[in-house]
Structure 1
């Protein structure tokens, strides 16, 4: 069941208790403090759970080493500061701010140095869920995911912004506790990661773009309230997500997601003008808007007035 939660380690901290809490929140592991005089007093932990994906903020407040096999899931670790040195299959990856270390599932990994100033944002993605999305995004189940991701690239930066946005959502947000919404957000986040991590496939470039764009737009107009992900749209088009996005940019000048938002806004506007709606929030939710603030800003940008004014008029 999808859920959203935050965990904070309480007052009197010990290393065993801290390690156990992090194991429950992220991955089971073996912890070795590297400074015998250090304590667990400054451990920091928070976690957001979204169906097959979870986002954890972890800081030990001391230099440590970690061993984990990452059972059943990928672990993508993004240092917010400090240094993270990880060895997987004899290959060492050193990540600092602006880079992410990608740990494959079911494979022993040694974090030989997690510096005392290093707090990470870790993203745990279920192995089978990610592999399903690899096929939909890249069209190749054998696509190789690299062991490090550069967050300075446009795709990498976009993915990490989405990670931070979801991690910052309030714990009492009922929409994120909804299993369907959580699954959609997990899919969007996973697709964004794969677009940043996987190389472009030149074989995709021969797709007849105007035809696939028309096919997708027809599907969006037919069911705008559906919880569309980028991979869902690519399935309709019969191409990879990257190729679909490039086609929309070339022929439409907007992304598929931007086109979907415009279609949904028009539906909301029509219903508000017709006077059949009793609540802006209800009609926005009906047409697929799950974030009231972003919906209101998009509506005002497009129509020049808040949706509440259209409803009153």
Structure 2
């Protein structure tokens, strides 16, 4: 679908066909021009539009997974608790995200049906217990953000041609894979579980067991390697080959999980003390790592437990 318009109501009603919660707020109707391009794939909507206006917007998808990038001078994206990096895409499966800009902007978005995406990823992992949830609003890194934008650009090029239903379904699946590769989600955990169950060699299984049992202690990757009777370099290679991750990342994930479990029990112990107990000597770094893993601040877990 393609169209241009200068009518705010028609633009908002179009956007709500894809994200029912979407709102355009504080729009200047005298400077409003909208150029829309969208396409339906199998379980995912491709959306790109150029919007010349002073805009404040809100999206809080229900039953959807929304990935969005606003490319505009002085653009800002934020949640109720923090600002997001406006130079990168963001993702949400329900958490409200706001954006604002005051000049021309190009907005690029993929809107996935949550249930369909979950079904696809269950087939990929072979894990029928997978519950798809985004665990961070921001991409894993600047490089991952660039890869997602390149994948979006390739998809746009492909959609310029007439595609058969089978190819449209394949492109939708490609878009989903590009998205879960760029952002942290429970898909990663499912892959790790499957890898441990089916593919990981005994050395890696022993290392993971040692990490789980000793994450609360001041162990290092060298200690993990020694416990498995392998060199540190050999352990790195085994993890990369079996799980496409590192022993350090597995240790950090286990420690974050331990801190998260402790916070979720509603303990009154200061967060900085909990962080130190789980191997994080800098509270700010712990908070940043926790937010990347769970999509919220450590204090939020304590409030939920209370």
Q: Structure 2 length as normaliser, TM-score? A: 0.54
Q: Whose helix proportion is higher, 1 or 2?
A: 2
- Residues 67 and 55 (structure 1), Cα distance of their counterparts in 2 relative to 1, 3 Å cut: same
Q: Is the 8 A contact 1:159 1:192 kept in 2?
A: yes
Of 4, 7, 15, the residue aligned with 2:2 is 7
Q: Deviations over 1:34-69 (max 9, x none)?
A: 54x6432x2222112212111111232122122343
Give 1:24-43 correspondences, 5 Å limit.
Answer: 24=17, 27-35=20-28, 38-40=30-32, 42-43=33-34
The alignment of Structure 1 onto Structure 2 pairs a total of residues equal to: 200
Of 40, 46, 68, the match for 2:37: 46
1:164 aligns with 2:153: yes
Q: For the Cα contact (< 8 Å) 1:86–1:92, is it kept in 2?
A: yes
Output the CA distance in 2 between the equivalents of 1:169 and 1:67.
29
Q: Is 1:66 the equivalent of 2:80?
A: no
Is residue 132 of structure 1 aligned with residue 119 of structure 2?
yes
Aligned partners of 1:45 and 1:158: how far apart in 2? 24
CA 1:198–1:111 in 2, change beyond 3 Å: closer, same or farther? closer
Report the 3-state secondary structure (helix = DSSP H, G, I; strand = E; otherwise coil) of the residue aligned with 2:62.
Answer: coil
How far apart, in 1, do the equivalents of 2:14 and 2:199 lie?
A: 51
What are the ranges of 5 or more consecutive residues in structure 2 without an aligned counterpart? 202-237, 245-306
Maintained 8 Å contact 1:47/1:55: yes
Query: What CA deviation, in whole Å up to 9, does each residue of 1:119-156 have, x standing for no partner?
Result: 22111011102222443456562464211125622x44
SS of 2:66's equivalent in the other structure is: strand
SS of the residue aligned with 2:72? coil
Gaps of at least 5 residues in structure 1 are 1-5, 211-242, 250-313
Task: Name the residue aligned to 2:169.
Answer: 183
CA 1:137–1:23 in structure 2 vs 1: closer, same or farther (change >3 Å)? same
Inter-partner Cα distance in structure 1 for 2:36 and 2:85: 20
Q: For 1:151-202, what per-residue CA distance to the aligned partner results, in whole angstroms no more than 9, with x for missing partners?
A: 622x44333322211113354x33x2x2222112111221221122237556
Ranges of 4+ aligned residues in structure 1 off by more than 6 Å: none
What is the alpha-carbon distance in structure 2 between the residues aligned to residue 150 and residue 79 of structure 1? Answer: 18
SS at match of 1:9: strand
Distance 1:14 1:143, change over 3 A: closer
Per the alignment, in what secondary structure is the counterpart of residue 179 of structure 2? Answer: helix
Q: What RMSD over aligned residues (CA atoms) do the two structures have, in Å? A: 3.5
